[in-house]
Each structure stands twice: as structure tokens, then as C-alpha cells.
Amino acid sequence: MSNNAFEVQVQHFAVLKSKYQATKYEDSSPSSLLYLILRKADLEFEISKFERKWLREHELLETIEAIEQQPQRKAEERRKLDANFSQLKSKFKVTRGLSISSPLYPILWKLDSENQLTDLEVKYLQEQGLTQTVAIAEDMARFAALKAKYQATEYPDCSLDSPLYQILKQLDAREILSDVEANWLFNNQLVDTLEIFWQQKAVREAEFAQLKDKYKASEYPETSVCSPLYQILKNLDADMQLSESELNWLEEYQLSETLNIVLEIEQTRHFAELKVKYKATTYEDSSLSSHLYKVLKKIDLENPLGEPDINFLKKRKLTETMTVAIKKYVASLKSKIQSGEQLSEADIDWLQKLRKNEREDVITFAIDKYAASLKSKIQSGEQLSEADIDWLKQNGREDVITFAQEKEFAALKVKYRIIDRDFPFDPFYAIMVKLEKEERLDPVLVVQLIQQGLLASHGKIAMAYHRLEALFYDREYERTGDKWNLPNASSHWRKADEPESALKVTENLDFDQIKENKLKSALLTTRGGAFRDVDKLDDAQKCALKAIEYQPQSHHPYTLMGAICFERSQFSEGERWFNEAIKRGAKSEDIDSELKQVVKNTKDENKRREVVEYLLKKNPQRYAWAKSYRKRQGGEDAQRKNS
């Protein structure tokens, strides 16, 4: 064996003796049995009984214990490595489950200790799809580069969360540091870095002064680059459009000269944009006083060009601009029409001055389109205004007016519940329109309603008519003071199914002040009828009997008394009062009408049945109409039994 090999073995033996606590064994020769035992233990070979006995004999008990604990130490070391690997993966955002034996572990270890990687190591991370880890590595490299650039390498912390990293990035972007950040540099003894910041600050302050002078803002006293004015002027100098808040700031600090410069810059930029947009770049004059600027603004606002504007464009051979202007305005008018708006007279005059091929029959299109929009408006249930109707008449579209009236007539027939009858458009459309507007009907129209039997029923048309009549007589009484209007108003309120209003117009009357007994009787009779409508039969009877006292020969209060008795099921007494009414001029039709009202208005089914049976037994032919109530009751009774 060569001397070199022997020396290596001697050194190895010494290391193993130290590792396994056998240094007290004096023999250092590689030929010693101890060397063989320690080599086997280090390679995790099992130690034989003979070898253990030899170690005990040489009092190497600590060595035996160290050999026995070797696997445990290795397992513990493995756990430590795993834990460290997990920490590094978490720290550097590793999302893949790569093993500890992969190249990733040493790369992360190096990144954590040296804060930078080689290109080959970065490439490996990219191939593994570890984009977040690559980004962290790049940030760490950038941090190291910034520390070198801004003379902060003596600062030990390389964490990306360090305040220094953010400060250096701000310095590199030539952003202004806050007082807190500047103090942080000072407190951490980064004097050279702080000096660079002060140099940058001095440059910015000089720039700020130049910008204030350039844009007429020198009167603003603040020199600190932290002032909003510094950024505003920088934006202005970079030909950036100022925001509304920046303009408001200038206005708030009364920097009117600066604002004027801003306005001029904005207008100049706007003029240049309009020239390109409307094909007028051949025109060299870019002064804001140029008439072309005014013309282009008109075009952009979709305003029509007048003859002087057209002539201006023609003289300067800006034919493309003129064509674009005309097409744009025609398109805007079409869009206006499409949205349902009506063209103004000025719009129509402008169109009529164009050649037919330029106009493209926009006027006809506008009329048709607007008429269609009105028709759609009608379809959705809206009514035409007076202006709409006038426009349709002026433009020869009476067909839309007719369509609107027919739609409204159909809707009114539904509202007034006359859809099951074939009423002619004329005059019933006019009647219902007047009722809708609460206009009193002319006598001729009232006759039409009477002929159709619409006032004899309790339908919606009759009720609307009687309500208008009641209001008319109310107003007449207020206007003239003539109390004969009161019974008329009360009677119509009752027929309009508003008995409370009928009672109201006849209350608080001082009968001692009324001289005519006929008027007193009429007022009491209609008031009694209203009480009867609200089922206050005792009050109704008092009014009827008092009316008879005032005018014994009038049949009206007797008829009222007959109806009251029938509603109380006092049929014989009721017959007596009806006979007295007939003696005084009442017609059998009047009596039958009251009886029909009794049957119709009775809410108690048993009482109604009692009245019906009484009438049919007395005169089945005269009171045949009561049979319908008998059938109705039978159907209702059957429904109750079935349910």
C-alpha cells in the first residue's frame, strides 16, 4: 500500500473514532479491528456479536451506544431535511410536489442563501412550470441589483418584504419618497442611498421651477415636488390630457394663466384630431381662430352647415370634408327619426335645399317612421296628444288618427262593459270620450243612450252619465242658490250608485226657510230614497211620511213607502202604499221598477226568495222577470250543497 493511501486510511480512521466516540482507543493503525468495525457501522452493516464483545472487552461502551443510535440520527436528519425543504417550497411558492432528491432542493437552498440563481437554474424552474418561484427569483435578483446601484449592499436583509426594496424601486422609478421613507434610510445608516435621493430631489425641484415658469404658474408659492401642481405640470409637459380633478385643482388655486394654456393646448389638439377625422389635413392653418375649426366643430356636433360654411369649404377645395359633413348630418337625422323623434322645421328646410340624391327621401322616411312610432304608441295603450293629432293631419296621415280612435273605442267598450252589444262607432265613440273627459253630454247624445236602453240599466255608462249630471246640479246650486237643483243632484247621485253623496247634498237643510211644500216634499223623498239605498229604513220612512205631510197629492213619497214595506217583507202594507201612489198618478211601470230594485238590492237570500215567491204567486205574468232570480237562487243552493 502506498504511503498516500495509508495516510488517507489513517485520517479516515481518526474521523470515524471521533464520530463514534472511540478516541480513547490509542491504536491508530488502519489494520486495527476497530477500524473495520467503525467502517461497517458507518456503512450501516450489522455489527456481529463477536464485534460487540470485542468492543466491550476494550471498554468502548460509548462507541457501542453511538453505533446503535446511528439509524435514529439518520432518520432525524432526514426529517430535518424534509422540514427544511417544505419551508423553502412554501417560501418560494412551489406548487408542484417534487421530491427531495430533485434538483429543486439545492436550487431553493441556493436562492435562500445567495439570493440569486444562474440562467440554467432559472431555466429548470421554468421547465417545471414554477412561474411564481421564477418571479420571486427575478425580484430577488432585482433587489440585489438595486442595492448595488443605489449603494445599499451593506444592508443585510434580502427579504422582498423589506422596506428597502420598496424604497429602492421608488428611487429607480424617480418617484418621490415620503418623510417616513427618507427617515428609514437615515435610521438604517444608508447614507449613500439617502444622498442619491437628495440628488434626485434637487433635480426634480429644479424641473418643477422650470415647469412653473413655462406654464405661467410661478405665483404658486409651494416649491416641494410633493405638491399636486408638480405632477399636473409634468402631465401637461408630456402632452397628456388633464383629468377633471386636475383642472378643478388649477381652478381652485386660481392659476388662470395656466388654465388658459391648458385650454389652448386642448383646443389645438382637438383641432388637429378634427382635421384628421373630417379629411381636412390639407388645410395648413392650425390657429384656433381659423373658421375651419368652427366648421369642424359644427360637423362633430352633428349640426347642419349653413351656406357660408359650405362656401368656405368649396373655396378651399375641401370637398371631402363637405361630403362627410352632409352624410354625417343626414345620418344623424335618420338616427333621430329611427328613435321616434320628430324632425324640426329647420331640419326639413335644410333637407329640402339638398339635391334629391343627397336627400335620399329623408323627409318621406321621417314622416313614415314617425307615423309608425305613433301607431306603436297607440298599440301599447298610450293616447295621442293634441300635437300628435295636428302633426298627422298636416302630413296627410289621418289613417293613424282613425286607427287610434278605433283602438280607443274598443278599449272604452271594454271599460264600459258594452262589448256584448254591437254599438256603431258614431255616436258612441263621441259619447264615451266625453264621459272620459267628464264633459256633460249634449241632449242629442242623451237621446241616443235612451234609445239604446243604456240609461235604464245600472251599467257603467249610465253611472258615469248620472255622476256627471249630479256634479252639474251640484255646481248649479252653488252658482245660483236655487234649491231645486238639490233633488235633481240627489236623484242622479243615487242612480250613479253613490247614495252617500245623495245624502250629503240634502243634509243640514233648514226646512223652515223653504217656502214651497213641493220642494220640501221632493227633497225629503229623494233623501228618504238615499237612506233606503244604505239600508237605513227607519230614516227612510221618516223622510217619506214627512214628504207626504208636505205634499199629500204627490205619488213619489207613497211609492217610496211601498218599497220600504216590501223590503221589510210587509207585502200587504206595501201593496196599500203602492195603490195610494197609483191613485195619485203613479204608473204600474214605476211600481214594477221599484219592485225590481227591491229584489235586486236585497242582500238576504231568504228575504229575496220571499219577495220573489210573493210576486210570482200574485201575478206570474206581470212579474215573470222574477223567475230569473228564482233560477239563480236554485243554482246557488245547488252549489252550496255540492260544496
Q: Which residue has the higher pLDDT, 157 or 643?
A: 157
User: Percentage of the chain surpassing pLDDT 70?
Assistant: 86
Q: In 3D, which of 364, 337, 340 has the Cα closest to residue 352?
A: 364
Whether 62 contacts 17, CB under 8 Å: no
Q: Please, what is the average pLDDT of the chain?
A: 82
Q: In 3D, which of 582, 633, 579 has the Cα closest to residue 605?
A: 633
Per-residue pLDDT, 521: 93
**Dihedral over alpha carbons 111, 113, 115, 119 (to 10 degrees):** -40
**Is residue 231 classed exposed, middle or buried when 0-12, 13-18 and 19+ CB atoms within 10 A define those classes?**
middle
In tens, the pLDDT along 1-15 reads: 677 888 888 899 899
DSSP for residue 457: S
Which amino acid does the sequence have at 581? A
Q: Largest alpha-carbon pair distance within the chain? A: 165
Per-residue pLDDT, 374: 74
pLDDT tier for residue 95 given thresholds of 50, 70 and 90: confident
In tens, the pLDDT along 525-534 reads: 999 999 998 9
Q: Where are the alpha helices (DSSP H) in 496-536?
A: 499-505, 517-533
3-state secondary structure 35-90: HHHHHHHHCCCCCCHHHHHHHHHCCCHHHHHHHHHHHHHHHHHHHHHHHHHHHHHH
- Indicate if the pLDDT at residue 600 is higher than 80: yes
In tens, the pLDDT along 411-467 reads: 666 666 676 566 677 676 677 677 767 777 777 676 766 666 566 666 777 778 888
pLDDT tier for residue 578 given thresholds of 50, 70 and 90: very high
Cell output for 203: 433635480
Per-residue pLDDT, 357: 46
Per-residue pLDDT, 453: 59
Separation between Cα atoms, residue 92 and residue 111, nearest integer Å: 9
- Indicate if the pLDDT at residue 335 is higher than 50: yes
Q: Which residue has the higher pLDDT, 277 or 374?
A: 277
- Indicate if the pLDDT at residue 100 is higher than 70: yes
Cell output for 498: 253613490
In tens, the pLDDT along 606-616 reads: 888 999 999 99
Separation between Cα atoms, residue 251 and residue 7, nearest integer Å: 90
- Indicate if the pLDDT at residue 641 is higher than 60: no
Chain CA centroid to CA 325, Å: 37
Whether 295 contacts 312, CB under 8 Å: yes
Q: Please state, as a whole number, how many other Cβ atoms lie within 10 Å of the Cβ of residue 43.
A: 7
**Is residue 597 classed exposed, middle or buried when 0-12, 13-18 and 19+ CB atoms within 10 A define those classes?**
middle
**Is residue 180 classed exposed, middle or buried when 0-12, 13-18 and 19+ CB atoms within 10 A define those classes?**
exposed
**Angle 112-118-122 (CA atoms, 0-180°, nearest 5)?**
80
User: Percentage of the chain surpassing pLDDT 90?
Assistant: 13
In tens, the pLDDT along 167-226 reads: 888 888 888 888 888 889 888 888 888 888 888 778 877 877 888 888 888 888 877 777
Separation between Cα atoms, residue 494 and residue 530, nearest integer Å: 6
Lowest mean pLDDT among 114-118, 438-442, 594-598, 626-630: 438-442
